Amino acid sequence: MRTYKWMAAIVLLLGMTSCGTYYRMVSQVNSDGSMHREVYAYGDSAFLAGDRNHNPFLFRIDSGWEVSNLDSVVKFNCWGDEDKLNVKVCRTYPTVGSDSFSTLDGKEYSLPLVVPVEKLRKSFRWFYTYYQYTATYGELPDKGPVPLENYMNKEEQQIWFRGDQEALIGLNGIEQNNRLDDIEAKFWKWYNRSQYELSCEVILHFITIKGDTAFVHQLADLKEPVYGKYFSGKDTGDDGSPEEVCNYLDELSQTKYFSSLYADNKKPMDDLFEEKGRIAELFGCAVQFELSMPGRVVSTNAAMQKDESLIWKVDAFRLLDSDYMLVAESRVVNYWAFGITLLLILLIGGYCWRLYRKLS
């Protein structure tokens, strides 16, 4: 499937509960600062038979990972969507952040979604020992040729990509719906413009290769009129592909130059367009990040807490506007500290009592 078709499909996921592929990552932080981690995915028959070239995970499986097939396919409910899992990898880190994930060869652009920067701070405070954990997923460096800020301000981005409820406080259902409709319209304008600009970059590249200077200028002259007539009012997932843009350029200019250019260079133009939009495949993946901390959790920004696990959803949409930081703090009771304190109180109290008796 070409990227421009894929992007049109995955962007629709913003309004749905389903996603392309889910992964489940379960991490246990231990009191000594080590971490045990398990990651679950759905592998094909070749991977289950031992062919690691069919890696179903987002990251490279090196020698540090122990791979095992599940006894049967497990149905996994992730944020209301059901997915299947049949394989897991696990490893134990001596310290949190000591070893990280590695991106797959040729997919280094997936680094923000695949490799979080993890830190654990352990603080001793006599009666309690505190554990402060953070995992930072970096902002996507490549968000296309059109800045999001041209269409959506920071507050709107936080609402649309992070589900920031504070910005909607005080609004009733009708007002919230109107606010979200307005933000959605801005998002689609950004999306359509981004797709259009990518296609124009590809078309310009091939015109330049041919050395057709006159049509370089014609493309520059037609660019805004074509967008205004055929794309600016769209609010659904039209692909905005080079083929479509070339046809519209010919229609407005009354020539056949652009469609002929595409016909003569169909595969390389599609390949270049796909290369420019390759990061789009990340939007079809999501990770359910589950974390267990030592002791009792005292603060977190987790979206959900189930039993002893803190749960976040991590996907590329949440990385569009800024870094996404997962935060959790827990504390463990130092019972020995309470014992020593009580003993000291008794000793001091006994000494004071003897002193009082002696003085009286």
- The pLDDT tens digits of the residues spanning 143-164 come to 889 999 999 999 999 999 988 8
- Rounded to whole angstroms, the Cα distance separating 287 from 114 reads 9
Tell me the pLDDT band of 97, cut-offs 50, 70 and 90. Answer: confident
Note the pLDDT of residue 234: 59
Name the E strands within 79-185.
81-93, 117-125, 128-137
Beta bridge partners of 76: 83
pLDDT in tens, 253-293: 999 999 999 999 999 999 999 888 888 888 889 999 999 99
Name the E strands within 140-238.
none
What residue segments make up the domains of the chain, in order of their start? Answer: 18-144+283-337, 172-276
**Closest among 83, 135, 134 to 112, alpha carbons compared:** 135
Q: Which of 6-10, 38-42, 86-90, 333-337 has the lowest average pLDDT?
A: 6-10
What mean pLDDT value characterizes the chain? Answer: 88
Beta carbons of 28 and 292 less than 8 angstroms apart: yes
Note the pLDDT of residue 239: 66
pLDDT at 142 over 90: no
The CA R_g of the chain, rounded to the nearest whole Å, is 28
Tell me the pLDDT band of 79, cut-offs 50, 70 and 90. Answer: confident
pTM for the structure as a whole: 0.84
- Rounded to whole angstroms, the Cα distance separating 13 from 283 reads 9
**Closest among 100, 137, 96 to 119, alpha carbons compared:** 96
Region 86-109: mean pLDDT is 90
**Closest among 268, 325, 317 to 300, alpha carbons compared:** 325
Note the pLDDT of residue 14: 46
Note the pLDDT of residue 21: 84
Note the pLDDT of residue 19: 52
pLDDT at 76 over 50: yes
Note the pLDDT of residue 338: 86
Note the pLDDT of residue 250: 95
pLDDT in tens, 194-241: 989 999 999 999 999 999 999 999 999 999 999 998 888 755 445 689
Using DSSP's 3-state secondary structure scheme, residue 206 falls into helix
